[in-house]
Structure 1
Amino acid sequence: MTPTSARLIEQAKSEILSASSATAALRPDLVTSWQRSKEALGSPDRIRDVPQVGVDLLDRHLLEMFQAPLARVSDELDGTGLGLLLADSEGRILQRWTHDRAAADHLDRLGTVRGAVLSEETVGTNGVGTVAATGRSVQITGNEHFAEFYRSAVCTGSPVRHPLTGRLLAVITLSTHITERPELLRPLTHSIATQLGQHVMDAERPAARSMLAAFLAASRVQQGPVVALGPDGLLMQNQRASRLSTADMALVQRLCAEESRGGRVNVELSSGYADVQVTRLQDGAGSVAVVNVGERPVTHGGFGPLRPALAGRSTEWLAVAQTVARHREARTPLLIAGEPGTGKTSLALGLPHRPGAARAATVVDAAERHVLGARRWLQRLSERLAAGAPVVVKGIQTLEPGSLSGMVSLIDSTPSRGAVLLTLSAADRAEAGSFATRVGYPTTWVPSLRERSGDVGPLWRALADHAASSAHLEPTRDALSALEAHAWPGNIVELRNVIEQLALSGRRGAIGAADLPMSVRGARAMTMIERAELEAIQRALQEAGGNRSRAAEILGLSRATVYRKMKTYRLTA
């Protein structure tokens, strides 16, 4: 907004509020909102702060209905400076999502916190209350706001309606500082609102209603995260589940998706060990999982069902697998080295035991030494070794010389121990060889994913089956070619993240090359805002028959901006 246009808006606003005739250049909906605000509040300078209501008065069920899809949207807005707001039909803020410190500070300065009431009757024209009052999408910029303290903000909001009745359920709003105003935010908020409407539609089906009822019942009585997975991948999560990382959420969803899974399961999350109680619902209505963080694992529980099945047919991979199997059979220590994310721990855990073996491997993370201290960590390792089950010591590159020496001494001196498999992350074979001389055990090198590109297909199928078996994600020939050509600097972990993001976005069936992240296709992945911009420009160009000037008018942007965006996204008229 230029200084001149800001002065014109301010002048027109003053004329309207003083009962004079308004300038015809202003949007009629903005003028009408100012008039409603004046009738309710009088002068803008009378608004000193934002009123709030207690959290107990907020619609908790509405928040829990939309928590999962909005958490995914929030993740995609990381780094944009945007704050994401969910309000009820009366303009009360049910929740806000921010990943950026600047965005959080911006919302704090405006008093936009949980429980804030942003209806037009309380703070005048704004990107939440005006949507609630009109039921239409709006963008309010700078001094278009009625209240003076909103001058530094731009807020873009859209209504969320019930897909069958049309009733206004909620308002979704993006807020940012006016100097950081992204263009084309209206199509983005409209897209988010449409996604939420579809989420409601999915929840309206009979089986989904059963799942929703069970989810809400669990959320009322449980103190920890609650996650529910219903028909066709419908996902619900309570507010406490937002504390789980993306990888943790994917693991909990996999547990819910497994048809045979039920009862109590001990898992290792990014924050530590947790107890997950999975309840299978009747008539195919899905599953509800309750996560109790901090529970200790049972050392003789099976790790295999919680991890992707090992997959691979390359000569290098099979040679490593055979080496590990021999050492497990002989109960001799082995150092499994490789780049980060190559599957070292899964390789150590996932091979079949000898017939009649009663216990599965247990993992001792070397990084815990920095939390527990060397003495307690070594004591824990000693207990695991003495139990006689196979032990995997993960990430020994983090151990300092004293702990490393103590570990070797325990392994060598413990009678009747099981196999011991040590994993080491190293940049190359030379670094791994140098470290191996310090422990004195045989070493095997796990090839990187780029060195065994022929295994990408089998790995995809195994990982996709665990991430979302009902989605039947399968790459097309073009997609598989792109996957095999990618360098995979993050190895199997990066491939797993690609698949999990596709599953979480609701993709099903065949995955084409265009569905893959642009980073995998050889270009930078677009942000959510960029995707919304691209789609809006494409629609406008289609509506305008390829006329760029007309498309600019439809979008409300200058021709120069549209030309620049088309060049950025490599669009042609």
Structure 2
Amino acid sequence: MAHGSRDATAGVPAEAVTDARRTFLRSGQVAPEVRAAIQQSWARSARLGVDPDELHADHDATDDADQEVFERIRDVLARAAESFAGEPVSIIFAAPSGRVIHWHCSDPSLARQLEAVSLVPGVAYGEQHVGTNGIGTALELARPTLVVGGEHFNERLSVFACAGAPLHHPVTGALLGVVDITCAADMSNALLLASARSIASQLQDALLAQVSGRDLSLLRDYLTTSQSEAGPVLALGDDLLMLNQSAQDLLNDVDRAALVDRSAESAHDPTPRTFETDLPSGAVARLRYEPTFHHGTTVGGVFRVRLDEGSDGDVPRTPTGRRTSAVPSPALPGVVGSSPAWTGAVTLVRQHLLRQRTVLVQGEPGVGKLALIKAVHYAHNGSLHVRVFDCAVIDDLDRWIERLVDDLDTGVGTMVLQHLERLPVVAVAPVAALLREYAATSSAEGPRWVLATRTHTGRSSAIDALLAPLFEATVELAPLRSRAEDLAPLARTFLEHAAGPSGCGSPRRRSTSSRRCPGRATSPSCSRPCATPYAGTATG
């Protein structure tokens, strides 16, 4: 590659860009000649607290899904590496998280330089880890990006030029990773970014060749429908989900999840149909379903969606003679909250549990995960037991497992694995085996719910790989700070609870009763619930 003495920032000399970065680090001011994309990346890096002088490598095991993508494109990357044989460049493939999956460099000197900055497989190179760079910034911007010399946020990376090009799935458009070409900063030229783009295009072609005929048939019907439909459109197959821009713009995350869940019930029906379903937000979605066929077999279908504030009752029903939503209002005894995030999560938990799906409820400590589970349990199966197994408090593992087995064998009631993230590593495999056996042998003896709660702190790769995938659904509870609408009703309920409802006995008795069973406490002198109020503020 030809030598150059200027950075990619508008032909500005490399020394000027380096000085501009140092000025930014001292004062927060950025010289106008620095590219806008680099300015923004520097600002993000600073907000994230990235060290501009030293590198702090984040080593972790590669996710199985990332490795699977790499296996499907391995041959193309090998051929690309051959085309650069003898050149002082490296070809890198990184996951959507920025973690390096594959690394090839035939130049010993450059290889040593890359190893010195931990740019090797297993290390995360997202912006949040090392600041502005060809991998992390390309992922952040979702477009091909060149970062040269002093444009890097970290001083130790300023000796490199990095060109990153994101790789997207050819059918779904999902981000699969990024291709990066790295060389010495003074070796950079316009061909670096073009080469990264070319390799990404070759990888996408290779992935397209591996797409099944079933998926292509569904894609064809989805594209045909999307071209003639201005409203939301979604397509569902065995391993494929596609939503058009209207579905993403007009539906919030909770409504989208509910819509996909309800659509899945019809996605392999060979007969076209129209039905309606209630969404957590209160809107009504009217869906027109058209099946997709491949060699005479139904492989999924496409749904046109119409949104309405309410139903006039004239839309054809599902075969059961009702709208697909069988879940009542999200209001539950013992929990309060009216924000879309809270009511949506409540509705999803109820929907999954009424279908007896295994559910993983996630959120920050104190958002009310266990309180919500207990409230749903008591609302629907109050006469049955709810047993909580705290993964953070296991004195005798063998006995703990025995109790788990005994409860699963009962066939009814609710079982909760609380604090799943704190389950000891030695217990992960046996618990996973029990859950797999439960999934394979569970019968319809009675209402049976199996759930787990987990926070995002102290995540375990073993639990992520072996346990989390065994749950059929995951529901995220948002923290109270992001649900301002819930503050007033929560405060009001706490005040009412502290004052005590009339006819419920003395304050001392009410207080003792409420602490005994926060999910559904009943005072001895009153027949109605006196539950401790939650709006995502209870522990668990």
Scaled by the length of structure 1, what TM-score is found?
A: 0.34
Question: TM-score, normalized by length of structure 2?
Answer: 0.36
**Which structure has greater helix proportion?**
1
